């Protein structure tokens, strides 16, 4: 894997950057499994720098996008595909809020669609759905579980016939090594006046500060961290104005949480009652942002 040292901030191009947190992972030892959504090696991170001008936090040196793309292409995440119900509750809430900005019946594109849990719900809510997913295995899961045919590959290679009234980036931005080129590609998919939904961890959140180096969003797959201003700046640079923003809380089954902490519970008689129990994890350490693309 090639690692490129950066002398400037990838977001604002300013030169006033400094070490934010020293890395704990060994780039040469990484495998596709380390990029799972359900990866439980929390606290595992790249060496991170922060920008004094815009507050953006980024991996430095930065791993090359092609190596990361190969990891995602080979990624399998059966556990994620099975965790449909808990994730579904989060997604239903997002669809409800999105429905006020882009009414059902609108064309919706989910970028980084994983196994299609969100798109399946969006389709049931009346949206006309398409999705993009770089993992071949998750593309196959989406077809098998929900009959969804996702575009396999990175966003830069997707060429839709028409732009979409709604585009969603749910826990995606923190995975991309070059947010500007990625957002430029994504902005082309959004119709003038259309809505972009972004969910991404908040590096300035209380949880991030209290948990320090053990924050659960520190993981091999996360190469970027935003806070409110840096996220709004990126969106503004690509023609989007934020119309709504809220703190985001994930829902998981108790089984999912318990097996993060106690992996030996998997497959035991406790599995069923734990799976049935749903908790709301009120960490509020992500942003959920709705942004509107300028009408030319
Ligand atoms: Zn900057």
Q: What residues contact 125, with CB distance under 8 A and at least 6 apart?
A: 95, 99, 104
Cα of 233 to ligand 1 centre, how many Å? 10
* Cα of 62 from ligand 1 centre, angstroms: 15
What is the Å distance from ligand 1's center to 54 Cα? Answer: 4
For the chain, where are the E strands, in sequence order?
3-4, 17-21, 48-51, 57-59, 62-63, 107-111, 128-133, 151-152, 164-170, 190-201, 224-225, 240-248, 251-253, 278-280, 286-293
Distance 282 CA to ligand 1 centre (A): 30
Report how far ligand 1's centroid is from the alpha carbon of 10 (Å).
Answer: 7
Ligand 1: centre distance to CA 156 (Å):
24
Distance 245 CA to ligand 1 centre (A): 22
Rounded to the nearest angstrom, the distance between the alpha carbon of 281 and the centre of ligand 1 is 31
**What are the structural domains of the chain?**
3-293 (3.40.50.150)
For residue 15, report the distance from its CA to the centre of ligand 1, in Å: 8
Q: Nearest to residue 217, comparing CAs of 252, 159, 174, 181? A: 174
Q: How far is the CA of 14 from the centre of ligand 1 (A)?
A: 5
Question: How many angstroms does the Cα of residue 50 sit away from the middle of ligand 1?
Answer: 8
The Cα 201–Cα 222 span in angstroms is: 10
Strand partners, 164: 190
Asked if residue 64 has a cis previous peptide bond (ω within 30° of 0), the answer is no
Gap from CA of 175 to ligand 1 centroid (Å): 18
Q: How far is the CA of 56 from the centre of ligand 1 (A)?
A: 6
d(CA 287, CA 246): 6
pTM, whole model, 2 decimals? 0.86
Q: Say how many Å lie between the CA of residue 236 and the centre of ligand 1.
A: 14
Neighbours of 7 (CB within 10 A): 7
Report how far residue 235's alpha carbon sits from residue 64's, in angstroms, rounded to the nearest whole number.
Answer: 23
Give distance in angstroms: CA of 107 to centre of ligand 1. Answer: 34
pLDDT tens series, the chain, 296 aa: 788 999 999 999 999 999 999 998 887 777 777 777 666 666 688 999 999 999 999 999 988 878 777 777 777 766 666 666 666 778 888 999 999 999 889 999 999 999 999 999 999 999 999 999 988 999 999 999 999 999 998 898 999 999 999 999 999 999 999 999 999 999 999 999 999 999 999 999 988 888 888 888 888 889 999 999 999 999 999 999 999 999 876 666 666 666 766 677 677 777 777 666 665 556 688 999 999 999 87
CA of 261 to the centre of ligand 1 (A): 36
Distance 16 CA to ligand 1 centre (A): 8
């Amino acid at each position: 894997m090639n690692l490129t040292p950066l002398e400037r901030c990838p977001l604002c191009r300013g030169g006033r950057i400094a070490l934010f947190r020293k890395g704990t992972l060994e780039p040469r030892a990484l495998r596709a499994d380390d990029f799972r959504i359900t990866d439980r090696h929390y606290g595992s991170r790249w060496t991170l720098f922060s920008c004094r001008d815009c507050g953006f936090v980024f991996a430095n040196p930065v791993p090359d996008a092609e190596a990361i793309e190969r990891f995602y292409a080979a990624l399998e995440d059966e556990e994620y595909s099975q965790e449909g119900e808990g994730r579904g509750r989060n997604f239903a809430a997002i669809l409800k809020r999105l429905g006020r900005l882009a009414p059902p019946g609108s064309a919706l594109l989910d970028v980084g669609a994983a196994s299609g849990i969100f798109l399946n719900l969006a389709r049931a809510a009346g949206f006309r759905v398409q999705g993009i997913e770089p993992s071949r295995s998750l593309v196959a899961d989406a077809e098998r579980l929900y009959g969804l045919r996702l575009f396999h590959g990175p966003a830069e290679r997707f060429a839709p016939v028409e732009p979409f009234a709604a585009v969603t980036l749910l826990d995606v931005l923190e995975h991309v090594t070059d947010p500007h080129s990625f957002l430029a590609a994504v902005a082309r998919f959004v119709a003038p006046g259309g809505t972009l939904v972004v969910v991404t961890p908040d590096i300035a959140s209380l949880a991030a500060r209290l948990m320090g180096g053990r924050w659960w969003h520190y993981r091999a797959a996360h190469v970027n961290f935003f806070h409110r201003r840096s996220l709004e700046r990126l969106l503004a640079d690509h023609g989007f104005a934020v119309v709504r923003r809220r703190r985001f809380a994930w829902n998981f089954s108790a089984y999912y949480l318990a097996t993060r902490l106690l992996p030996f519970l998997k497959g035991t008689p406790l599995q069923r009652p734990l799976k049935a129990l749903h908790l709301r994890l009120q960490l509020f350490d992500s942003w959920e942002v709705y942004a509107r693309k300028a009408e030319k």
